[in-house]
Amino acid sequence: MSWEVITLLFLAGLSAGFIDAIAGGGGLISVPALLWAGLPPQMALGTNKMQSTWGTLMAVRKYAKAGLVSWTQVRLTVLVTFVFACLGTWTVTQVSNEVLKKIVPWMLLGIAVYVLLSPGLGKTAVKARLSLVAFACLAGSVLGFYDGFFGPGTGTFWTMACISLLGLELTRATAFTKVVNLTSNMASLLVFVISDRVHYPIAFAMIAGQLIGGRLGASMAIRHGAPFIRVIFITVVFAMVIKLLWDQFGTRG
Q: What is the mean pLDDT of each run of 10 residues along the chain (253 residues)?
A: 88 89 79 85 86 89 93 96 94 69 71 71 78 96 90 83 92 94 94 90 93 90 83 79 78 58
For residue 81, the model assigns a pLDDT of 97
DSSP states of 124-173 = S----SS-HHHHHHHHHHHHHHHHHHT-TTHHHHHHHHHHHHS---HHHH
- pLDDT of amino acid 100: 59
- Give the number of C-alpha atoms closer than 13 A to the C-alpha of residue 208, restricted to the C-beta side: 11
- Tell me what pLDDT residue 101 has: 66
Specify whether the CB–CB gap between 28 and 238 falls below 8 A. Answer: no
* Residues 16, 21, 26: CA angle, nearest 5 degrees: 25
Structure confidence at residue 50 (pLDDT): 92
pTM over 0.75: yes
